[in-house]
Amino acid sequence: MYSGLTAQGIADNIERINENFPSATKGFYKILCDRIKAHKFTDFEFTRAVSHVIDTCKFPNPMVAEFISYILNERPRPEEIPEPELSEEEKKEKQKKDKEWLIQRQAENEIIFKHQEERERLAEEDNRKRDWVPDGFV
């Protein structure tokens, strides 16, 4: 669930960054804002990332990646997020889609297998033609 990033949240954190890193450029802020929106940061996550960078930045100016990587490393991995509970209707729909997907993959694999068999047959035929020697030439 994405609770969002507000204009006030962005402004407050940009002000904090500017106070601590006054030589940051407008271009830096534009890229930072683009990236936090692309990664769907919340106000809380952006505030935590800014605090982390303020506490740990070793260079005169931070890099956008320092803000982004901190939160991305803090977020749960997809395999750690439990799947939502599905209603019986949703479970049936999911099973139907999974079955359709499996049937499609099996059909594709059969076609691939037939083509592979045909290529092997043609290669074997080609090898026999290449190995053929007229009588009396051996």
How sure is the predictor about 136, in pLDDT bands with cuts at 50, 70 and 90?
low
Long-range CB pairs of 56-59 (<8 Å, 24+ gap) are 57/21
How many CB atoms are located within 10 Å of the residue 38 CB? 9
In terms of phi and psi (left: phi > 0; alpha: psi -120 to 50; beta: otherwise), the region of 89 is: alpha
- Record the tokens describing residue 14, joined without a space: 């940009």
Q: What digits encode the pLDDT tens for the residues 90-120?
A: 889 989 998 998 898 888 888 888 888 888 8
Q: Where are the domains of the chain?
A: 7-80, 86-138
Q: 89 by DSSP, 3-state: which?
A: helix
Query: pLDDT at position 31, please?
Result: 94
Q: What digits encode the pLDDT tens for the residues 45-88?
A: 999 999 999 999 887 889 999 999 988 888 776 666 676 788 89
